[in-house]
Amino acid sequence: MRLDREQIVAAALRLLDEVGVDGLTMRVLADALKIQAPSLYWHFKNKQSLLEAMADALIAPVARAVPPGSWAEQVSFIAWELRAALRSRRDGARVFAGTFSINDNVIRTADHLIGVLMAAGLPRQKAAWGALTVTYFVLGFTIEEQGAYEPGGSEGVALAARREEFTRFIGDRYPHVAACIPDIFDGDQDARFRLGLEMQVAGLKVLSSAS
């Protein structure tokens, strides 16, 4: 009957899908757990550390087992897994980005990434920095991707409204952006991610050949 940290984190992640990160307050979470808000402070020293535990749980599945293949395939595999993990909950990417936390799961992911790049022949520093760069890409992409669709339940409507406002704002002052509106708004997110990821991998390749 008594709660432990694991159950609280699980409930918090479930709630995240319902209310989003801005709606996830200590009182709302306590209500869902049928306890009082101050009780949460017995398990977590503050809200930030609860969010860190949530971020940790969120990316727990990432880079557990990387299948054999070229280094480019392995980097891509981890990047796809990371995006999938962040997308698995509403506002997942924002929750993760908000915690600069050092936890097992994030380190394991970094370790895999750096290891793959070093095995590919990158010098240590370039492997480390290259791994960080790929991670920033995945995180930035996913934050934006989740931000575009989220505000309220009726996603399609909100997106259409945003597109119209955007089109009106552009007018004819910014011809390049205007021409790209279909790409920005209809774009297949998976295809867009694939292209961005190809850019990162190509960049890593150049880093390795320039040694």
User: Which stretches of the chain bind DNA, using CB under 7 A?
Assistant: 1-4, 24-28, 30, 34-39, 41-43, 45-48
Q: Quick one: what does residue 35 bind among DNA, its own copies, none, with the CB cut-off 5 to 8 Å set by partner type?
A: DNA
Q: How far is the CB of 150 from DNA (least distance, A)?
A: 17
DSSP type of residue 63: T
- Closer residue to its own copies in complex, CB, 33/80: 80
Half-sphere CA count of 9, side-chain side, radius 13 A: 19
- Closer residue to its own copies in complex, CB, 89/126: 126
- Closer residue to DNA in complex, CB, 45/176: 45
**What number of residues does the chain have?**
211
| Nearest to 44, CA basis, from 29, 58, 62, 31 | 29
Q: How far is the CB of 152 from DNA (least distance, A)?
A: 16
Which helix (H) or strand (E) covers residue 191, if one does? Answer: helix 189-209
State how far the Cα of 167 lies from the Cα of 9, in Å rounded to an integer: 41
Q: How far is the CB of 132 from its own copies (least distance, A)?
A: 8
- Closer residue to its own copies in complex, CB, 61/196: 196
DSSP type of residue 180: T
Q: How far is the CB of 128 from DNA (least distance, A)?
A: 32
State how far the Cα of 21 lies from the Cα of 120, in Å rounded to an integer: 38
